[in-house]
A and B are shown apart, each in its own frame.
Chain A
Amino acid sequence: MITKSRLNRTQLIALLLPGLLLFAAFTVYPIIRLFWMSLCDMSFSSMLTQPFNGIENYKEVFQDQTFWTVFVNSIVYTLITVPGQMAIGLFTAILLNGIKRFSVTFRVINYLPVVTSWVIASLVFRYIFNTEGLLNYFLWKVVGITSSNIRWLDTRWGGISVAMILGIWKGIGWNMVIFLAALQQVPQDLYEASEIDGCGAWGKFVHVTLPGIKGTILFALIELTIGGFNVFTSIKMITGGKPAHQTDTLLTWMYYKAFSTGKFGYAAALSFVMAFSLGLLAIVQFRMMRNRDN
């Protein structure tokens, strides 16, 4: 590469520094601070002094019934939306990969939900899934598969389902684009070879396509898992956690604890548990990716 003598250190540092400083101050420092806050008694009543509190906050988190409710909600949300959007996205990509005309048109239209903002999309879904809304009318009075209005937004799993449908709807386009790119990199001759071996469409998919896009699948898995636990705006807009925090997720509950009740220590502990477990999960997934490369 470049010889040491040529290396102008000051200029290199000058290039690195602005970004590094911003990054360190507004992202790295808060992560460290988060950990410290989780060990302190921080609430509205202890605004000035923030005494060290050991693992009390963590105890409070794990002994809190609502924590386990919202924890399960987040897990279910992730377990359903991640495979859901990946499967539909991949399927759409396979369909698109085989056509020539209108390919770009389909791609652009199917990507539109991704660029729609969460606030807007959530409100649209809330409106559609209203008890008196269009969907219930359609299901009941037009198609006739239900015999009353379904209370989509009013129950724990109803509300979460609407958020999950929104999550899948909004995520398909992203999956479609990255899987389409991956599919185009699978060598064509592999398909031809498998055809000679007598593989049908399903056989080709299992033996050629899937192994060929394994890397992309793992990449999507990591990104989407993080995204799944990051769900916030849709829940806040669609149910607001109602009824009685039954539809809250980890982050909306954390936010409620911090900004409505002032339990900043509790919120920090909850956040840290979340960040830490996701970090571990991602490292495992990264390892898997690296093993594949070797």
Chain B
Amino acid sequence: MKSLNGAKIRGMILRYFLLALGTVIFTLPMIYMISTSLRPNGALYEYPPRFFPKWEALTLENYGYILNQSKFYVNFLNSAFVSLSTITLAAAVSSAMAFVLGKFKLKVNKLIFGFIILTMIIPGTTMIVPQFELATKLNLVNQLWGLIPFYVAWVIPFSTFMIKGFMENIPGEIMEASWIDGASVWTVYTRIALPLASPAIASVSIFNFLTAWEEYPWANTVINDTSKRTLPIAIAGFFGQHQFTQWGYVFAMSVLTLIPVVLIFILCQKFFVQGLTAGSVKG
């Protein structure tokens, strides 16, 4: 008995040791990014390179530059506008589709669902050429709001798929009672289905937010004006300019961009896990 305990304790120590080690490796790049954002631009090619800057060399000048001189606020608001519009629209249309697909047996259900699965298989970027042509025809090039329908359309398959799974699990009796009371489809959807499915919608929305907040290839392709650029394009633009790179600015802006995402992630950690596992365990 005693030896077993010893083995168990040793096993536990090993587990924690490995986990701690893994965590350190996982977080090193992020810590290095933060530490680089806190040193003056000229010190970036210092020798020897340092993981942490010298204490007396610590500076907030990069943040000062980003917050005062660059178009950070504009980019930030652009990203916020696009992301929030995307999640709102996506939540509305996907939950409605999921409700119909999950709770009614229509003839078209199979066809629609087939298309949804099909588009989940195709990597989004492969469609960038015809989508660009479409954006051109609809005059959505270089329009900030023009990003939204594309983003919504991209996240519809995944969102509908996830919310549908949740809707199916709502016990039939709850709705049955409403039908008997003579409620309309609309009433059942808004009064019963939506509130019950809200955890699924919330978790899907977090993912959609991330998708829109960090999307780069499409936004970079269709947006031209400096005042319409979203955060990822602004950061990438900082980097591509000219024969010297102000890594300090790049990383200060990156940190500022990550803050809302990390906050949302930590606050809504539960929804995250729910959303992820619902899809995978059910298969």
A→B interface (CB under 8 Å): 1-3, 6-8, 11-12, 14-16, 18-20, 22-23, 25-31, 33-34, 37, 92, 95-96, 98-99, 102, 104, 106-113, 115-121, 123-125, 127-128, 132-134, 137, 141, 169, 172-174, 177-178, 181-182, 185, 215-216, 218-220, 222, 226-227, 229-230, 232-233, 236-237, 251, 254-255, 258-259, 264, 267-268, 271-272, 274-275, 278-279, 282, 289, 293
In the complex, chain B residues whose CB is within 8 Å of the CB of A255: 125, 128, 217
7 more contacts with CB within 8 A, not counting A1-B105, A275-B123, A275-B126, are A30-B127, A115-B265, A116-B30, A123-B250, A230-B124, A271-B126, A278-B123
A6 to B185, CA, bound (A): 9
B134 pairs with A29, CB closer than 8 A? yes
What would 8 A/B residue contacts be, using CB atoms closer than 8 Å? A7-B104, A16-B96, A16-B100, A20-B97, A222-B121, A254-B128, A255-B217, A274-B123
A22 pairs with B217, CB closer than 8 A? no
Pick from B92, B112, B176: contact of A20, CB under 8 Å:
B112
A251 pairs with B123, CB closer than 8 A? yes
For the complex formed, measure the closest distance between the CB of B136 and the CB atoms of chain A, giving whole angstroms.
Answer: 11
Q: Enumerate B118-161 residues with CB–CB distance to A below 8 Å.
A: 118-134, 149-150, 152-154, 156-157, 160
In the complex, chain A residues whose CB is within 8 Å of the CB of B257: 117, 120
In the complex, chain B residues whose CB is within 8 Å of the CB of A95: 15, 18-19
For the complex formed, measure the closest distance between the CB of A67 and the CB atoms of chain B, giving whole angstroms.
Answer: 15
Pick from A12, A219, A233: contact of B280, CB under 8 Å:
A219
For the complex formed, measure the closest distance between the CB of A149 and the CB atoms of chain B, giving whole angstroms.
Answer: 11
A106 pairs with B131, CB closer than 8 A? no
Q: Does B269 interact with chain A (Cβ within 8 Å)?
A: yes
B131 nearest in chain A by CB position: A30
For the complex formed, measure the closest distance between the CB of A110 and the CB atoms of chain B, giving whole angstroms.
Answer: 5
B160 pairs with A19, CB closer than 8 A? yes
A227 to B211, CA, bound (A): 14
* Residue with the greatest number of chain A CB neighbours at <10 A, chosen from B94, B128, B157, B254: B128
A174 to B189, CA, bound (A): 32
Q: Enumerate B51-93 residues with CB–CB distance to A below 8 Å.
A: 51, 92-93
B159 nearest in chain A by CB position: A19
B→A interface (CB under 8 Å): 11-12, 15-16, 18-19, 22-23, 26-27, 29-30, 32-33, 36, 45, 48-49, 51, 92-94, 96-97, 99-100, 103-106, 112, 115-116, 118-134, 149-150, 152-154, 156-157, 160, 172, 175-176, 179, 184-186, 189, 210, 213-214, 216-217, 221, 232, 235-236, 239, 247, 250-251, 254, 257-258, 261-262, 265-266, 269, 272-273, 276-277, 279-281, 283
In the complex, chain A residues whose CB is within 8 Å of the CB of B105: 1
In the complex, chain A residues whose CB is within 8 Å of the CB of B124: 230
In the complex, chain A residues whose CB is within 8 Å of the CB of B175: 2
A220 to B27, CA, bound (A): 23
For the complex formed, measure the closest distance between the CB of B131 and the CB atoms of chain A, giving whole angstroms.
Answer: 5
Q: Is the interface of A mostly helix, strand, loop or mixed?
A: helix
In the complex, chain A residues whose CB is within 8 Å of the CB of B128: 254-255, 258, 271
B126 pairs with A251, CB closer than 8 A? yes
B119 nearest in chain A by CB position: A27
In the complex, chain A residues whose CB is within 8 Å of the CB of B103: 1-2
In the complex, chain B residues whose CB is within 8 Å of the CB of A29: 130, 134
A133 to B239, CA, bound (A): 16
